[in-house]
Amino acid sequence: MGQFGNQPDFATNDIKTVVPSDTIDTTTFLDASVIYIGDNTTLGNELKVIPAGTVGPSVISGFSSPGYAGSGGTGYGDVVDENRDMLGGSGTGLDILYTAVNGQVVSITEIIDQGTGYLNGDLVTVDNGDGNAVFRVVAAPGLPTAAQAVTFKGLGTGGFLPVTVDYVLTTALSCGALIAAK
């Protein structure tokens, strides 16, 4: 009998003990691992995980021109590193420093506050001048957050968690005997 397509391969040499942690970074990343629950007496029948492939809020890395003449706007005066909010797009709270020459915004020099909810490709305007300097947000998916975790309850000893996971988070109860197989 063969293995079904897209199912985890339990015959692996990459097996390690999982130490639950609320740190979400490359050191705790399990890369779509299958979790084996060896001892459920200390788990309290509860395990908090972030499923494989979960992405977090977008992280803005910069801005680009939307590609049309005049997108630098008008009426912005000559300023270096003026602090302003950005308007529009999917999110709120984006705050930047910009430089303007001859009334046009020529560059966004720094992101003061990423805000929340912005997506790659959003069009935003600098809140100053004539309010018509338009930029396209360049963003990538960020790391997931603890708020995106899923809690499994009633897990049996000696069984596999029914989903592949990228992170195992600390719960209010102590965890023991978790093994990840990639």
* Cα 40 to Cα 43: distance, rounded to the nearest angstrom: 5
Average pLDDT, integer, range 122-150: 94
Residues 150, 136: one domain? Answer: no
Average pLDDT, integer, range 26-48: 78
Q: Which residues, at least 6 apart from 91, have a Cβ–Cβ distance to it below 8 Å?
A: 115, 116, 117, 118, 119, 122
- Radius of gyration of the chain from Cα atoms? 23
Q: Shortest CA distance to 54 belongs to which of 37, 23, 31, 34?
A: 31
* Residue 2 maps to a domain: no
DSSP 33: B
Classify 148 in phi/psi space as left (phi over 0), alpha (psi -120 to 50) or beta: alpha
- Residue 102 sits in which domain range? 59-142
Residues 67, 101: one domain? Answer: yes
Q: Shortest CA distance to 89 belongs to which of 57, 135, 141, 128?
A: 135
Burial of residue 154 (number of CB atoms within 10 Å: 0-12, 13-18, 19+): exposed
* Residue 167 maps to a domain: yes
Residue 38, both tokens: 């060896």
Q: What is the pLDDT of residue 46?
A: 78
pTM for the complete prediction? 0.69
Residue 47: pLDDT over 80: yes
* Cα 18 to Cα 163: distance, rounded to the nearest angstrom: 15
Residue 175: pLDDT over 50: no
Residues 121, 106: one domain? Answer: yes
Tell me if 161 sits within 8 A of 85, measured CB to CB: no
Residue at 171: amino acid letter: T
Q: Select the more confidently predicted residue: 23 or 160.
A: 23
Residues 163, 174: one domain? Answer: yes
* Residue 124 maps to a domain: yes
* Residue 10 maps to a domain: no
* Residue 116 maps to a domain: yes
* Cα 140 to Cα 3: distance, rounded to the nearest angstrom: 35
Tell me if 152 sits within 8 A of 46, measured CB to CB: yes
**pLDDT tens, residue by residue, 59-71:** 999 999 998 889 9
